[in-house]
Structure 1
Amino acid sequence: METTWLHSMVQGDATQYYRKRNGIMVEHMVRPANFDMRYNHFHQEYEIYLLLRGRRQMFFENRAYEAQAGNLILVDSGQIHMSHSIVGDPETEYERAILYVDRDIVEKVDKMFPELKIGAFFHKHYGIYELTPKQTANTRRLFLQIMGELDKAEPMSQTAILSELILGFIHFRRSNQQVACLNDVQEGKASGGKFDAVYQISDYISDHFQETLSLDSLAEQFYISKYYLSRSFHEVTGFGINEYINILRVKKAQSLLETTTLSVSEIASRTGFESITYLGRVFKKYQHVTPAQYRKSLTSTAEKNNTNT
């Protein structure tokens, strides 16, 4: 059984369940309310996150949202996101279950059943869903059924898991008219004050991350104290300024490694890194391999797929 975790264990974690097999993974955990995820802010898996207890502040596509117990969060493959604590939250812990599905599995299912368009739905309708009681029960049942199949590892268990996923997605789509996705109906969890300021700055960073940016230069450009900017940006997004800039750069570097034959040196220049060494260090922090190793792994995967076809 594979034991690689997408999220790092922290003091106070109480693992209720963990299994990963053939591109499907389920994590069920209880964590301290003040926990902020530190790594894996974007990954190739599609993420289905069910908040069972407590509250969390979610951040994706430069906007913040507040998730409550019973909410379902859909995260697109490769989407930068953050789950972090809410300032002043009286809760002491939160409980969540997450189902991760590898991108290649979704691509195969969409090819087999073009009507589903699972990948396109996640890309367009990521966000927080306020489930109806019936949908909450159905989602819990889906998790339990998949966990049961992961535990059995019997013949055709992978087919059974995919069947459950497809049926669960169909039921969700059919009843979506009665469900509100916060990403579809509002800009974020709040407007005015620090939220509007942080939204403007995060949008600017997203458009200019290839350029030379720093806390000092952003504070000067937006006419605010760098101390206020640093504190507010972290409270709203869960990221530090430099951390967010680097994550955007790494994601772009990853895309260039996948889609071009540019040298790593040229990619470092195009993504705003001051040197190939700095790109390598930051890239490995988030992807756990160097840029060269990442590109080599893509070649090995492509050769394997060609051999199997």
Structure 2
Amino acid sequence: MNLGTELTYGNSEDLFFLEYNKRKGHFTMSIDHIHGQYELYYLFSGERQYFIKDRTYPIQAGDLVLIPSNELHKTSDTGVPNHARIVLYYNERYFDSFSKEEAALLRSPFLGLRSVLRLTHQERLRFEQLLYGLLQEVQEQTAGHELPIRHAAAEALLFAARHMINSKPEPNEGSSPPSPAAAKAMEIASYIAEHYREPLTLDELSRQFHLSTSYLSRTFKKFTGFGLTEYIGITRVKEAQLKLRETDERVTEIAADVGFESLSQFERVFKTHVHLSPRDYRNQYGQKR
């Protein structure tokens, strides 16, 4: 089946949408690192580095990656060119059409201990058959194509859920022991996740971890895909999103609580990563009280 280099179905406003890309050369994910959809990522070929929350995973062809909604993540280059991948996105409202028990099962892959599922050869063949059938429907768009697309979207989640139930491997399946430099980058990321409310600068972190500023900055970027200042900002924005959705706290108070020095800095960084102002985000996603 000739899929070309890119296919899409739907958009971020839909209950379900997908992206397929076959990329030549080297590629690192751009700035959109947090979104409200659940994300199922599958790598057909090549290899990638996937940073999720505060941990880096080496991803190889045949790996299935599961990202909860509003979780910080980014893929980056490993030095090996060319890769093909598909990403399925599920809006929270996607699960409303199922019974309570069915919705819990389909959502369960995103709520477990593992972010990466490494498929066996037989599992990979079966899952890729499902995905290629889905992509064929997207590409050809014959009469009634939306029916098998909806079916395949749910079947992909069911496949992941059953894999997690039946295999019972160790947490963080698909990862390998990190190098000392990668382990240090993840240690720094974990520290930032715990101390994001505090003033954090490159100089302060360099002293904290007994590293030169240039080495810390270079190593963190290499193994997470993020610049240090970018990661600190995104971590604070993620926490601010939670407060905007679930509390009535004033925007100025939220800005200070998550570590921003000023309201203007908060609004600028928030809009950079979320593409909405904090107030517009609350109006759109906040709980109705």
TM-score by length of 2: 0.86
Return the letter of the residue paired with 2:153: L
Matches within 5 A, 1:146-157: 146-148=134-136, 150=138, 152=141, 157=146
Cα distance in 2 for residues equivalent to 1:58 and 1:133 = 22
Match of 2:256 among 269, 277, 300: 269
What's the counterpart of residue 197 of structure 1?
184
5+ residue gaps, structure 2, are: none
Query: What's the offset of the Cα at 1:181?
Result: 6.4
Question: Any conservation in 2 of the 1:17–1:27 contact (CA below 8 Å)?
Answer: yes
Aligned equivalent of 2:30: 38
CA distance in 2, matches of 1:285, 1:203: 23
Identity across aligned pairs (percent)? 29
Which whole-Å CA distance do the structure 1 matches of 2:130 and 2:195 have between them? Answer: 41
- Report the 3-state secondary structure (helix = DSSP H, G, I; strand = E; otherwise coil) of the residue aligned with 1:211: coil
Q: 2:7 corresponds to which letter in structure 1?
A: Y
1:218 aligns with 2:205: yes
Q: Secondary structure at the match of 1:35?
A: coil
Match of 1:18 in 2: 8
1:200, 1:172 → 2: CA distance? Answer: 29
Partner of 2:81: 92
Change (3 A) 1:51 1:109: same
Q: Structure 1 length as normaliser, TM-score?
A: 0.81
Query: Aligned equivalents of 1:50 and 1:185: distance in 2?
Result: 15
Aligned residues: 283
Q: Is the 8 A contact 2:15 2:90 kept in 1?
A: yes
- Alignment equivalent of 2:229, drawn from 226, 242, 245: 242
The range that moved more, 134-143 or 229-238, is 134-143
The whole-number CA distance in structure 1 between the counterparts of 2:211 and 2:284 is 44
Structure 1 contact 273–279 (Cα < 8 Å) conserved: yes
Q: Answer yes or no: is 1:66 the counterpart of 2:58.
A: yes
| SS in structure 1 of the partner of residue 9 of structure 2 | strand
Equivalent residues of 2:109, 2:161 under 8 A apart: no
For the residues of structure 2 that align with 1:133 and 1:178, how far apart are their CA atoms? 16
- Which gives a bigger RCO, structure 1 or 2 (Cα 8 Å, sep 6+)? 2
How big is the shift at 1:256? 0.6
Asked whether the equivalents of residues 58 and 176 of structure 2 are also in contact (C-alpha less than 8 Å), the reply is yes
How far apart are residue 284 of structure 1 and its match?
Answer: 0.7
Alignment partner, residue 6 of structure 1:
none
Following TM superposition, by how much is the alpha carbon of 1:121 offset from its aligned partner in structure 2, in angstroms? 2.8
Deviations 1:89-124 (A, max 9, x none): 3x321111111111221354363625x433233121
Displacement of 1:67 in angstroms is 0.8
**CA apart distance, 1:302:** 5.5
- Judge conservation of contact 1:16–1:29 (CA < 8 Å) in 2: yes
- Counterparts of 1:110 and 1:233 in 2: how far apart (Å)? 43
Deviates more, 1:127-136 or 1:268-277: 127-136
d(CA) in 1 for partners of 2:187 and 2:164? 31
Q: Which moved more, 1:160-169 or 1:39-48?
A: 160-169
* Structure 1 segments (4+ residues) deviating >6 Å: none
Q: Shift of the alpha carbon at 1:34?
A: 2.8
Question: 1:307: which partner in 2?
Answer: none
1:70 Cα deviation after fit? 1.7
Q: Is the 8 A contact 1:75 1:122 kept in 2?
A: yes
SS in 2 for 1:66: strand
Task: Give the C-alpha shift of residue 32 in structure 1.
Answer: 4.3
DSSP-derived class of the 2:226 partner? coil
Cα distance in 2 between the residues matched to 1:138 and 1:177: 17
- Alpha-carbon RMSD across the aligned residues, in angstroms, is 2.7
| 1:120 aligns to 2:108 (yes or no) | yes
| Whole-angstrom distance in 1 between the partners of 2:283 and 2:179 | 46
Deviation at 1:140? 2.0
